[in-house]
Amino acid sequence: MNSVTQPTLTIDGKTVAIEGERNLLELVRKANIDLPTFCYHSELSVYGACRLCLVQIDGRGIQGACSTPPEPGLKIQTTTPEIREIRRIAIELLLANHDQSCPTCPRSANCQLQSLALRLGVKKVRFQSVHKQVALDESSPSLVRDPNKCVLCGDCVRMCSEIQGIGAIDFAHRGHDVSVQPAFGKQLGDVECVNCGQCASVCPTGALTPKSEVDQVWDLLADKKKTVVVQIAPAVRVGLGECFGLKPGEITTGRIVAALKQLGFDQIYDTSFAADLTVIEEGTEFLERKTEGGQLPMFTSCCPGWVKYAEQYFPELLPNLSTCRSPQAMFGSLVKAMLPDQMNIERKDLKVVAIMPCTAKKFEAQRPEMGVNGDPDVDNVLTTQELAQMIQSAGIMFDMLQPESFDMPFGFYTGAGVIFGNSGGVMEAVLRYAAEKATGKRLDQVEFQQVRGDSGLREASITVNGSVLKLAIVHGLRNARVVAEQVRAGKSHYDLIEVMACPGGCVGGAGQPVTTSPNARALRTKGLYHADKTLQLHKSQDNVFITECYAKFLGDIGGEKAHHLLHTSYQSRRRIADEFLPLVEPKGEDKLKVSVCLGTNCFLNGSQEVLNGVLRHAEQSGLEGKLDVRAGFCFEKCETGPTVMIGNEHIEHCTSKKAIEEINNRIECDRPAQLPNTHVCKHCHD
């Protein structure tokens, strides 16, 4: 019997087997050699921009390890005098054009550029900077973009495009002027960013970071007139420890509570309580849709990144989203409705802070519908990283803290609420409720292994009370697009779909500690499932304080009061802000704005002809100085196109003739009449 010889190559004199690795970098790391790199991530495409992972290949010279496929028999050296000097020069060049405000940078403790400069022994930058300072982009509620710290590695660009399928940022310009920026040179808050922050999670420097609310929270804690309560999301308990040298996935719940009490919060609660509440409301909503012929499939709505993505790209599917608020939003709404009376304080003096693994939660908290008369239900959102910063700032020795317990009743939770932090956790928690509710029998086997896993798109079929439920579990928005397009095309066979924007779910949120560990997300996931196992209760319906909350305050599940406090609605956000581009620049301030939609439906119905007719009329009539003609999309009136806005008036089913008549009327209206009654304008009747 012939034996198959394992292909090998040599790395620094050591024989290494080739076992399906994609490139030399993976083989080098398999040999326990950590080659430096900025732009390599196993989940992203190979880019080869930073030129740090260089190796010397006998007979071939110096090549990038990330972009070179392995071949049997290659002899590779990873550290030679020439390679070391090339790496040092590369780091020096980056530092020369880098904002070196390192002590005050949010990424100072875990900046990859800083780490590599130290590792490679760069003590002096020999090159003169030609970089011009650029203003910070603080337009986003979730992220801060600092172009002065960008090293052009492209990690953020590929993450946004390849994993999330959005492309809110990309490379612009050429040569010395090349930069990474949002579309059309706009700010991040004005484009189709969903605030997921995954760009910041892979950025090796401080060019993209979560937007800090630490100072605002310190101010709240210092205000003795305010009662400040805090909620902690499930995934935080398996991530925070990494900031203090613990392993990913280690559960630190008790120490987190102790630290928050020492920081001065008045009450410490768990978002898992609200997750249990979400299960009850969402599970009931799903069962009603399933049994009463409601809109199916139903998408979960706990992830604000996914919700904003649906609003932007699939507004026609918004009726398919559960109307339930996220656990964060439910918690804020419920607490601000209940506690003021119980504590004998006014609502304005009760402040709610949320500790989240997610940057999109910052955006969600600022949505106008998540508040009452301008007073938000959640006042501030801190990421896991920001909580660590506060603990460190206060000098609290986290690893020495004795565990403490949550305050009641909003600190009590079941395992179903805890597993919300994992991809598949929301689905499993709802199944634990729905299966028992549909059958009327106690569910003893609570684990649904069918919905667990790490694949970005998973399917499962589960029989409940004789009915087969077809399920989909999705993480990463590019995968969500695949499923959403099936639903939009009427080709979906699912009943319930869970979507989480971040890879792995909330455990992989951009607010979690930055890590280069390839198994960090898996360990965090394992930690949450372990937390579920160690609890006495695993089903949301068994949470006695949830039952009491309905009995004494909310009333019926899904009833009028519960719906008012715990549910919401969504809106179309199909296009980026101010996207109409000028075609005729006005010469003065006296101008009439004419905007023509060139979106798909309007274009197919003749909007291009309308635009051309308006431009010809402006030229032939000498009106260029009076008109501000713009083209773009979208007025969200696709069914009545072509759509044109003249001044502040929409004209639907518009033609060139209609547009020109309206323009003439508007322009004529602004001209002083030479004789009485020589012109009667329809806009001036009153």
Q: What is the pLDDT of residue 486?
A: 95
Length of the chain: 686
DSSP 197: -
Q: Collect all residues with Cβ–Cβ distance below 8 Å to 54 and sequence separation of at least 6.
A: 62, 63, 64, 65, 83, 86, 87
Q: What is the pLDDT of residue 575?
A: 62
Three-state SS across 220-275? HHHCCCCEEEEEECHHHHHCHHHHHCCCCCCCCHHHHHHHHHHHCCCEEEEHHHHH
CA gap 38, 43 in Å, rounded: 14
CA gap 46, 594 in Å, rounded: 45
Domains of the chain: 8-79 (3.10.20.740), 89-210 (3.30.70.20), 214-393+408-566 (3.40.950.10), 581-684 (3.40.30.10)
CA gap 579, 186 in Å, rounded: 10
CA gap 404, 259 in Å, rounded: 9
CA gap 501, 198 in Å, rounded: 9
Task: Work out whether strand 467-475 and strand 457-464 pair parallel, antiparallel, or are unpaired.
Answer: antiparallel
134 SS3 class: coil
Does an H or E element contain 10, and which?
A: strand 8-11
CB distance 420 to 234 below 8 Å: yes
Q: What is the pLDDT of residue 270?
A: 97
290 catalytic? Reply is no
302 catalytic? Reply is yes
Mean pLDDT, consecutive 10-residue stretches, the chain (686 aa), reads 74 92 91 88 80 92 92 93 92 86 84 88 86 89 94 92 93 88 89 94 93 97 96 97 94 97 97 97 95 93 96 93 97 97 95 97 95 95 97 95 96 96 95 92 92 94 90 96 94 95 95 88 96 95 96 94 94 65 58 83 83 87 82 70 86 91 79 41 45
Q: What are phi and psi of 148, to 5 degrees?
A: -70, -15
Which is nearest to 41 in space by CA: 518, 429, 382, 419? 518
Exactly one of 26, 364, 428, 498 is catalytic; name it: 364
Residue 481: alpha-carbon gap to chain centroid: 15
288 catalytic? Reply is no
Per the structure block, which two tokens stand in for 194? 């969903």
Exactly one of 324, 358, 502, 506 is catalytic; name it: 506
CA gap 518, 509 in Å, rounded: 15
649 SS3 class: strand
- C-alpha angle 131-135-139 in degrees, rounded to nearest 5: 145
Exactly one of 26, 192, 282, 498 is catalytic; name it: 282
State the distance between the two ends of the chain, measured CA to CA, in whole angstroms.
Answer: 100
282 catalytic? Reply is yes
User: Could you tell me the CA-to-CA distances from 523 to 32, 381, 416, 529 in Å, in that order?
Assistant: 21, 25, 19, 10
Exactly one of 201, 322, 492, 540 is catalytic; name it: 322
Q: What is the pLDDT of residue 675?
A: 36
> What single letter denotes the amino acid at residue 460?
A
Residue 299: alpha-carbon gap to chain centroid: 17
Task: Work out whether strand 75-77 and strand 8-11 pair parallel, antiparallel, or are unpaired.
Answer: parallel
CA atoms within 13 A on the CB side of 297: 25
Q: Collect all residues with Cβ–Cβ distance below 8 Å to 675 and sequence separation of at least 6.
A: none
Task: Work out whether strand 380-383 and strand 350-356 pair parallel, antiparallel, or are unpaired.
Answer: parallel
361 catalytic? Reply is yes
Q: What is the pLDDT of residue 682?
A: 47
Query: Based on the number of CB atoms within 10 Å of its own CB, is 70 exposed (0-12), middle (13-18) or buried (19 or more)?
Result: buried
The count of other CB atoms within 10 Å of the CB of residue 493 is: 11
Which is nearest to 594 in space by CA: 524, 671, 512, 663? 663
CB distance 621 to 665 below 8 Å: no
CB distance 500 to 358 below 8 Å: no
Task: Work out whether strand 8-11 and strand 14-17 pair parallel, antiparallel, or are unpaired.
Answer: antiparallel
Exactly one of 192, 213, 285, 436 is catalytic; name it: 285
Q: What is the pLDDT of residue 676?
A: 40
CB distance 381 to 362 below 8 Å: yes
What's the count of helices (H) and strands (E) in the chain, helices before strands?
A: 21, 24
User: Could you tell me the CA-to-CA distances from 658 to 61, 171, 396, 618, 654 in Å, in that order?
Assistant: 69, 41, 70, 14, 6
CB distance 490 to 484 below 8 Å: no
Whether the link from the prior residue into 582 is cis, omega within 30° of 0, is no
Exactly one of 302, 303, 549, 634 is catalytic; name it: 302
CB distance 315 to 546 below 8 Å: no
Task: Work out whether strand 14-17 and strand 467-475 pair parallel, antiparallel, or are unpaired.
Answer: unpaired
Exactly one of 19, 43, 369, 649 is catalytic; name it: 369
CA gap 70, 137 in Å, rounded: 42
